Amino acid sequence: MRPEIDGGQLPRRRPRHDGVPPALAVLSGHPNLETIVKNVLIPIDGSANALRAVNYVIDQVRESGPCSIHLLNVQLPIVSGTVHAFISKEMIQDYYEDEAKAALAQARIALDKAGLTYQTALRVGPVAATLTAYAAEQKFDHIVMGSRGLGAAGSLLLGSVVLKVLQTVHIPVVVIN
């Protein structure tokens, strides 16, 4: 049995706004995306889904106009006291930077090839909480992220980081599969 709304009529799909992709028009609720989405955060972990998120943003910029693109890589902290006893803080920081550089490499190549400017950042901490805090601190308008990262654990449909971010941020999030 079909649901009935207003005398048996199903609601129509929201029309496309001038030049604004349907997903972004629905999220923003505004016909002019450029006045709404100025700062976009793309969390990057080196996964294929993260790269698809980058490619999605590239396509949106081509269609809707420029925005400020920020790539964020979050490294899990090394918490072992044994490691800290034998390895200097500088060596650990170098490790984080090397891992971030490797994770960001393909995203940077794609954005460079598209001729888009972007900023990169590295943070260390629990991934979802760090990402959420960074998004609030930098006042992003929008987050575009892959549905699953490199981790094997998590939900069957969405990654655990995505679920935590969706539960805690107060800005639109586009999840790319």
The model's pLDDT over 115-164, given as tens digits with 9 standing for 90+, comes to: 999 999 999 999 999 999 999 999 999 999 998 755 544 444 456 888 89
Close Cβ partners of 64 (under 8 Å, ≥ 6 residues apart): 19, 20, 21, 24, 33, 34
Looking at per-residue pLDDT, the higher value among 65 and 71 belongs to 71
Structure tokens at 114: 């598209």
pLDDT digits (tens, 9 = 90+) for 84-124: 678 888 998 999 999 999 999 999 999 999 999 999 999 99
Question: With 70 as the cut, is the pLDDT of residue 174 above it?
Answer: yes
Close Cβ partners of 146 (under 8 Å, ≥ 6 residues apart): 43, 45, 47, 48, 49, 50, 51, 52, 53, 159, 162, 175, 176, 177
Structure tokens at 150: 């490199």
Predicted confidence at residue 157, as pLDDT, reads 43
The CA distance from 31 to 61, in Å, is 15
Predicted confidence at residue 79, as pLDDT, reads 76
CATH architecture designation of domain 36-147+155-176: 3-Layer(aba) Sandwich (3.40)
What pTM did the predictor assign? 0.75
Predicted confidence at residue 29, as pLDDT, reads 42
Predicted confidence at residue 37, as pLDDT, reads 60
